[in-house]
Amino acid sequence: MASKQEELPHDFPDRMMRERFLQPETLRALLREQAPAVADLLDYEHPEVMPPGYPLDDWRRRDRDVLVRLHFRDPADGREVLVCILVEHQSTADQTMPLRLLVYAVLHWEKEWKAWHDSHKRGQPLRLTPVVPVVFYTGQQPWDTNRCLEDLFDVPDLLKEWLPRWRMPLWELPQHSVEELLSRNETWWQAMAVVRAEQAPTEEFTRVMQEVLRRLEPLAEQRPVYWHDLLQLVLYWALYRRPSKEYPVLLEVARASQSNVKLQQEVQSMSQQLEKTREQEVFERGLSAGERLGESRGKTQGVLEGLRETIREILVDRFGSVPEAVKARIEAADLPKLKQAVRRADTVSSPEELPL
């Protein structure tokens, strides 16, 4: 879904998914889908989270989403080995994805090679850690591009023998309906029903959100930390991916979905905090635009123009156009008024209500 809301903040989906896939329950649920033969033989309670980036020789970095090292017990002889799980979240289809996964794996193996080279004892063989890659795709349209490394090569059949093989297991949201996800036993997949319903009409999205939150409620007593994480994911998706005019209804649905008064209060508190965070990110977006413009127009003038530009973009995105009278008020507003307006632009019910 390409919209200004999706850009705010631009890394929101990846950030949320990264945090969730560091949870043992979520990682296990994903691997039971994509690597069922090994999923229940891994020790999720003692993960080693690897640093997120690799510095390159030209001072650039390669950054990935999640790479964790887990212990695997071989059921045949009880031997334990380490396995790396590489999870990449995508909200849009990316034709380079098979190559990116391979590059991340090779960069990790290169680090292991260097560590072996620097400290191995004489006669000790180099042993690399296997990497299990998974792409978790939450776009609303089917994945329509490369699914394995061989797809990136356009060569005659005689050359295909020498092409490298590298699997790209793909979990694809459009292949699963809302009702199917709701019917799952694992709460992670139930929460994904909200993501699946992202573009549904208001009434349908509200129904799905209400049902998901109802199903999550027992977690509050059983696993409160996991409940909090999944609740945050659902609320973030509602606040950042749905039209702002729906917020009052969605927030009331979230609060009412919990039968326990204490949980209702916690939902209310989290909703308010997320809304403040969202307003702050809108404001920071305006300042970032101002900093870019400031390079050519002077810092103060750049900030003013950046805030004005952001306000206009949000109003066009929400209402289709900006009335001429409101445009004039935006142009005439000083810095304090623009700061207030950029925080309110995403919540007013009409352009004329903007405080300028």
Q: pLDDT category, 304, cuts 50, 70, 90?
A: confident
Q: Per-residue confidence at 221, pLDDT binned at 50, 70, 90?
A: confident
Pairing of strands 66-73, 61-63: unpaired
Report pLDDT for 100. 93
4-13, 70-79, 184-193: the lowest-pLDDT one: 4-13
Residue 351 confidence class, pLDDT cut points 50, 70, 90? confident
Look at residue 185 and tell me whether its pLDDT is greater than 80.
Answer: yes
Mean pLDDT of the chain: 84
* Model confidence band, residue 289 (pLDDT cutoffs 50, 70, 90): low
For residues 213 and 228, what is the distance between their CA atoms, to the nearest angstrom?
A: 11
pLDDT of residue 276: 60
Cα 86 to Cα 108: distance, rounded to the nearest angstrom: 10
pLDDT of residue 61: 59
Q: Where are the alpha helices (DSSP H) in the chain?
A: 12-20, 24-34, 36-39, 97-119, 178-182, 187-196, 202-216, 219-222, 224-241, 247-256, 261-297, 299-319, 324-332, 335-344
Q: Are 326 and 351 in contact (CB under 8 A)?
A: yes
pLDDT average, residue stretch 27-56: 90
Q: Distance between alpha carbon 145 and the CA centroid of its chain, in Å? A: 20
CA distance 221 to 241: 29
Whether the pLDDT of residue 331 is over 60: the answer is yes
pLDDT at 127: 95
Contact between residue 268 and residue 252 where contact means Cβ atoms under 8 Å apart: no
Predicted confidence at residue 184, as pLDDT, reads 95
Taking Cα atoms as reference points, which of 90, 63, 61 lies closest to residue 168? 90
Taking the alpha carbons of 328, 333, 339, 340 in that order, is the dihedral positive or negative?
A: negative
**From CA 43, how far away is CA 80, in angstroms rounded?**
10
Q: CA separation (Å) from 204 to 109, 194, 208? A: 46, 10, 6
Cβ-contact 88, 133 below 8 angstroms: yes
Give 218's contacts (C-beta < 8 A, 6+ positions apart): none
* pLDDT tens per residue, range 195-211: 999 989 999 999 999 99
pLDDT higher at 274 or 222:
222
Query: What's the pLDDT score for residue 255?
Result: 80
Angstrom distance (rounded) from CA 1 to CA 263: 32
> What is the distance between the alpha carbons of residues 136 and 155, in angstroms, rounded to a whole number?
29
292 by Cβ neighbours in 10 Å (0-12 / 13-18 / 19+) ranks as middle
**Residue appearing with tokens 């809301």:** 5
Phi, psi of 71 (to 5 degrees): -80, 135
User: Is the pLDDT at 6 greater than 50, yes or no?
Assistant: no
User: Based on C-alpha coordinates, what's the Rg of the chain?
Assistant: 24
What is the pTM for the complete model shown?
0.76
Coil vs helix vs strand at 207:
helix
Residue 285 tokens read as: 């977006």
4 pLDDT band (50/70/90 cuts)?
Answer: very low
Rounded Cα–Cα distance for residues 275 and 277 (Å): 5
Kindly indicate the confidence band of residue 7, based on its pLDDT and cuts at 50, 70 and 90. Answer: very low
Could you tell me what percent of the chain has a pLDDT over 90? 50
Q: Are 141 and 174 in contact (CB under 8 A)?
A: yes
The pLDDT-based confidence of 56 (bands split at 50, 70, 90) is low
Burial of 106 (0-12, 13-18, 19+ CB in 10 A): middle
Instruction: Find the mean pLDDT for residues 3-18.
Output: 59
Give the model's confidence band at 176: pLDDT under 50 very low, under 70 low, under 90 confident, else very high. Answer: very high
Top-confidence residue, 63 or 10: 63
pLDDT at 82 over 90: yes
